[in-house]
Amino acid sequence: MSRILLRQLFDAAVSAADPALTLAEHLPNKPKGRTVVIGAGKAAASMARAVEAHWDGPLSGLAVTRYEHGAPCNSIEVIEAAHPVPDATGEDAAWRALELADGLGADDLALCLISGGGSALLSLAGLGLSLEDKQAVNKELLRSGATISEMNCVRKHLSAIKGGRLALKAYPAKILTLAISDVPGDDPAVIASGPTVPDPTTLADARGVLDKYSIDPGDTVNEALHDEAFETPKPGDERLSTSELVLIATPAMALAAAAKEAEKAGVTPVVLGDDIEGEAREVAREHAELASTAKPSSVLLSGGETTVTLKGNGRGGRNAEYMLALAIALDGREGVSAIACDTDGIDGSEDNAGCIIDSTTLERARALGLDAPAMLADNDAYGFFSALDDLVITGPTLTNVNDFRAILVQ
């Protein structure tokens, strides 16, 4: 029963972030002129579909999402591109988005649909840089253990569209951004690297991130990060005065929905926070300690985005790594089970959303000859849970409010 309840909690969290349920109430009045939709992110296609279902009037535009995250639309073109490392299809979509924005006037509306993943999917290198330059830096950042805020700080300063630059192109049109947050703290400037909002970070901040993680970006990128032409528009910029952003789903909303589901089952929810960051295995050890002192019939809920510093050659995203470290720290503790999944249905670059554990996990692993600590050291949490048949596989959920974790104490 514990596994069933844990899955119900995850499903409730995902449902709370479904654009079909959350978007319509935030749609604006029709403008005097045209309405052009520009979407980017793992939820972009489902958000576009929700707009079409509730918009009374003509629409046009495009929405770029991750491969296999598309949804059928009539007036809005849906484009699928690569994530987390950008590709030429995403680059072309970004060019087209800028062209759409550049043709708008004061009576027009740019309805921007932004969600997590949009930073990689709407990738357009700044003048003098190439897609290959951005891909190389992106790969190093993904391996480094950098936080999403740090990664997006660098991405914004190498981009021709992120960090408020899409809004600059759309000015003086009215810009309404409907956003689904996948970042700790729900900072609009970090969600998909903030293409329609001012950027408080600087070129010096971007250089500092690369220095912090000992990343050598090469001469071309290094020169760009010392060139004031690559600086992003800042708060107070008049050209961003027509831009407004509304959050239609957040990690906190997802945790609140899971908490209600737990209460219905007679379990007391304890929300640890919706903005937890840090190395996945370290967060797991902290949560194992909390679980050891938690009251029976309670569930520890948390969200946010952990990181993984890759040192091994195995497979597995941050949720799988968290779960393997949690299982080791709990060491078969009776009555404790847990789930950790990415709400977009994809844990890193694998085919699973996450994993599930219980008090039998390590015992079953030993029976199969699996060495849990060794596999954690090799960053091979996917291989561990795949062998146990304890992967949670949902397929793309078409939304994204980041990680969901629940530790059930019975």
Query: Encoding tokens for residue 277?
Result: 């960051």
In this prediction, residue 151 carries a pLDDT of 92
List pLDDT tens digits, range 169-179: 999 999 999 99
Q: Mean pLDDT throughout 227-252?
A: 96
> Could you tell me what percent of the chain has a pLDDT over 90?
93
Is it the case that residue 1 has pLDDT exceeding 80? no
Q: How many CB atoms lie within 10 A of CB 99?
A: 10
The encoded tokens of residue 398 equal 């078409």
**Is pLDDT at 352 greater than 80 in this prediction?**
yes
Provide the 8-state DSSP code for 297: S
Q: 263 Cβ partners below 8 Å, 6+ apart?
A: 269
Mean pLDDT of the chain: 96
Q: What is the pLDDT of residue 145?
A: 85
Q: Is the pLDDT of residue 382 over 90?
A: yes
Euclidean distance between CA atoms 338 and 324, whole angstroms:
11
Per-position DSSP letters for 338-378, written without gaps between them? EEEEETTS-STTSS-SEEEE-TTHHHHHHHTT--HHHHHHT
- Collapsing DSSP states into helix, strand and coil, what is residue 249? strand
| Cα–Cα nearest to 35, from 65, 12, 57, 13 | 57
**pTM beyond 0.85:** yes
Domains, the chain, ordered by start: 2-10+252-409 (3.40.1480.10), 20-249 (3.40.50.10180)
Q: In the prediction, which pLDDT does 22 show?
A: 97
Closest CA to 197 of 205, 187, 189: 189
Q: Which of 311, 358, 308 is nearest to 331 (CA)?
A: 358
